[in-house]
Structure 1
């Protein structure tokens, strides 16, 4: 790995301010580092990156795949955002972990590499976003990917890989490595076998990254298994896009620089950025464009702090409106998740073994020796199930009518039609199911530090959790500033479970988890259900109450600066902010509708496509 103390691109404030820049990228995260790397391929293009967090280069907490549970909730790596009180989800605030530092959330995520269903991206195009369908994005999925084929692994897996794949559908020379874990939860094989008996679409897909991922399979992870220097470590935006290009003289990166606002004229033209470094204000100009890649929470905040947004919201925060764009901060979507916890029979092991000293020492020794063992693992077995397969035709029809009615606020009519249609599609995964390799404290879904640890009564025991997540929630939320102070978080309201349709889909997911746990050969691995100890699935009120009090984030917030037609989206399909000049947004916030599965692959693809758009627009 490059020496973090000798990276020419990482510079001091004085060095950063010496240079002139064609482009300023706000946010050195998952998307921002992609844009910076691609634009500086042209030696005549100068790019400056402002990152609010630290560099964290070479940090074992980030590089060690299984350490994400420790990084989440640590202020060194996580912004520690919290939602406003979720009245429809336990009446609590719910943590919204987001990566802070170079690499952004790609530095602290679960490393599960999932491409959405082709319907997800085709529906973006149906919403008026030309060039954003699956066939248009597929080249950018392969462009960012470096698939490490299992046939090349030097570490033998602890259990055989039973997921099929087509290497021809994957990238082989991109910056981000993807691989299958060489250490897998021992119960994955039985879970997948049991699941395959529960429905026609519940077996393993032929190629889960082809645009059709129905059924259960081993997940790919963004972990390097190329047998090189970084084998067995997290592959993320920093290792993939920054470090190989950190010697470029036309790339400068300043960390611990908090952007306060864009420099914008009365006519709505953005010419630069104001930021704080060591609490001192500074200004930097962009000759061509500012690229806002601060993420789903920070990007709308920065736009609103700059006077771009809904006039009534801006005035309430003491900000003068320069560009009237009421869609900024709207359309916020996240995948809500719920789970059931199970204790394993004697002799079975999960990642809970790392809570015990001998097993932890052995795992550390394996990882230090050849980057193998449980510490080298990311992601898990997972898959997708169709609501249409789990419900009766009458239930599907009733749910679709509920979504299309005007009874509840939420998405616009065009989006509601797409969501309703997908719920009736037997080939669309409305539910993501995940086998989580450790005991969780499901009593505290809003507190990540507690949730990701076993409850006291389960210490010393081995367990796991089965999670169900909504792929396309009907509930929608907002992110808006309440203060002109950039250090104060905006009001983050995911609106979890505010639409009753989400409860209907979640109930089917919870019932499916119970069936999985009661089906051979997986059921022979289960000793008991530790949470909830008692839940009568015949009592609808009890099931709904459980769902509302175990709802947590699946860490996939997006859509708060969505692309769409003028008056519908906040940015156009070239990602330029409606009503403004000289600024475009490139991150998860531009996605107009949620995708089925984890979002990091989609963010990389968006950033790769956006980089080409910027080059095209400027003739670079």
Structure 2
């Protein structure tokens, strides 16, 4: 084969496998994918939807990253799970399937990324997945009448479906309660323009009732291709860069396999798909990053770009558990690991593919605006006072552009800068034995409904950087949760709105009056000062980090351009969640799939252009 068409894709996660599958549709293009993790595609802990919590924090499946002590959270250290296996985080996440917003994607283009907007990206959102048509019974029980059949994707590789929980009253009550509070579903969530309460699908194959991820959807059907090579257990240590020409040129990747260094040459390009923490780490290990940082670690500087590893964004969330009335089914007996409950659930899943083990993480959610709701004053003067009091203090060249966007979303009555979501199990937010063990180690007797508030567009911008030249060392991750004062103002008000939700019919009828709540919950949820203190103690991550190698103009904080090429070096692109300029409105996985699909087309167009030039 023509070695000039060889690609090396670093990372066999979500985006890496999408691009590998698409590029190797051309038999003349060869692709090698080194992946640090192993192949757990057939592992029942990965395939069984409800067992995702059992692998979080395990070094065999999870990079098990942790933040630095967070100033905005009273010094709390937050665990950040990221998939370390074929399929990446798509193989260990909670399987929630939530669409991004048109306003968020359109902002990418407004920041200076030519050709990136909702109209361009929307076909790629539809391309990567299929949503199974829910039954009439499911539509009625989950109150899914807002779905638009004309928007439903029907022929993509990733399979998504709605949960079959017709004996659970909570989901329907949730949708009706939010509607009663002025938050009815405004339309189909996949339209890009949506607010209100909703039930989201999950990446679960409705035929097999197993997780559908990048490994099963993209790799499994094509793994026998002669032009595709996947190497597991291969840690990428650095890029190999030729600096003898006018511009540095990436010619390969050094990996460590079975304890030995191995060079994989790239005749065409190297594509980084190592994730929001792995991609900036590999750039810095290879001499692409802040000169000051690299020289301090005795790493030769190839490209001085202080934007590498900056602009990190994530969705902080904070929740509270409420005791439910007798007879309401929850997952508490399973989360307490009661043997009889686990045995019964496993028996039902094994024989019928139904029951608690057939369902992933949370599927009861919402997208809620700020004006006229969520405890914020409706008059513009008071809203202006709050926005102006919480001045923009986040450093960096992207900060003013980012702040302008976030302020526009806060003011837009048709957009949602935050959400509330719920699941039927107790959660231990305080003290700090939370994180990955938040549900699985709950020991409180009884049955509970947990409701969380999440901030979807935080103004706090963090960072992820190497602290050593050793590739085996984990990066230093500082999301700076709630350090921007407006983030605390907004998240606290979303959390306070939970009090209205639980006091409103029909949801209130399923909660015990004066029932128990989770540990250290605020006594008076209407007291904003008390709520703020609880938020700082109890906040966690939604595990949605993005933007550490942002697609932006260089002077606005960019690491890659609109073709996803790394500034200052040839033959190198980044394609993963790190390139998203701003946090997504909801779970990032749908957007990462869409971006990877579009990236494959961009790269294929470049290949065709090269062929034309050579001809």
Confirm or deny: 8 A CA contact 2:496 2:528 kept in the other structure.
no
Instruction: Give distance in 2, aligned partners of 1:530 and 1:279.
Output: 50
Shift of 1:340: 1.1
Instruction: Give distance in 2, aligned partners of 1:274 and 1:516.
Output: 54
Shift of 1:360: 2.5
- Taking a change above 3 Å as real, the CA distance of residues 504 and 41 of structure 1, as seen in their structure-2 partners, is same
284-293 vs 21-30, which deviates more?
Answer: 21-30
Confirm or deny: 8 A CA contact 2:314 2:458 kept in the other structure.
yes
Moved over 6 A (4+): none
**2:199 is the counterpart of 1:218:** yes
Q: Which of the residues 74, 77, 84 maps onto 1:100? A: 84
2:161 alignment partner in structure 1 = 179
1:16 alignment partner in structure 2 = none
Q: Residue 274 of structure 1 aligns to a residue in which SS?
A: strand
Q: Residue 372 of structure 2 aligns to a residue in which SS?
A: helix
**2:571 is the counterpart of 1:582:** yes
The gaps in structure 1 that reach 5 residues or longer are 1-18
**2:547 is the counterpart of 1:549:** no
Shift of 1:470: 0.5
1:346 alignment partner in structure 2 = 326
Q: Which of the residues 59, 80, 91 maps onto 2:43? A: 59
- Matched ranges for 1:499-514 at <5 A: 499-514=484-499
Instruction: Give distance in 1, aligned partners of 2:464 and 2:364.
Output: 32
Size of the alignment, in residue pairs?
590
* 1:129-176 Cα deviation digits (max 9, x unpaired): 112111111110011011211149xxx759823113123213211110
2:112 alignment partner in structure 1 = 128
**2:171 is the counterpart of 1:188:** yes
2:586 alignment partner in structure 1 = 597
**2:281 is the counterpart of 1:301:** yes
Instruction: Give distance in 2, aligned partners of 1:617 and 1:51.
Output: 25
Confirm or deny: 8 A CA contact 2:178 2:197 kept in the other structure.
yes
**2:524 is the counterpart of 1:540:** no
2:222 alignment partner in structure 1 = 245
2:412 alignment partner in structure 1 = 425
2:122 alignment partner in structure 1 = 138
TM-score (norm. length: structure 1): 0.92
2:369 alignment partner in structure 1 = 386
- Taking a change above 3 Å as real, the CA distance of residues 21 and 55 of structure 1, as seen in their structure-2 partners, is farther
Instruction: Give distance in 2, aligned partners of 1:446 and 1:20.
Output: 52
- Taking a change above 3 Å as real, the CA distance of residues 104 and 614 of structure 1, as seen in their structure-2 partners, is same
Confirm or deny: 8 A CA contact 1:147 1:167 kept in the other structure.
no
Instruction: Give distance in 2, aligned partners of 1:158 and 1:356.
Output: 32
Instruction: Give distance in 2, aligned partners of 1:444 and 1:533.
Output: 11
Q: Residue 131 of structure 1 aligns to a residue in which SS?
A: coil
2:395 alignment partner in structure 1 = 409
Confirm or deny: 8 A CA contact 1:76 1:100 kept in the other structure.
yes
Confirm or deny: 8 A CA contact 1:159 1:186 kept in the other structure.
no
**2:354 is the counterpart of 1:372:** yes
Confirm or deny: 8 A CA contact 2:6 2:269 kept in the other structure.
yes
179-188 vs 287-296, which deviates more?
Answer: 179-188
TM-score (norm. length: structure 2): 0.93
The gaps in structure 2 that reach 5 residues or longer are none
Shift of 1:591: 0.5
2:95 alignment partner in structure 1 = 111
- Taking a change above 3 Å as real, the CA distance of residues 455 and 376 of structure 1, as seen in their structure-2 partners, is closer
- Matched ranges for 1:560-579 at <5 A: 560-568=548-556, 569-579=558-568
Confirm or deny: 8 A CA contact 2:428 2:434 kept in the other structure.
no
503-512 vs 493-502, which deviates more?
Answer: 503-512
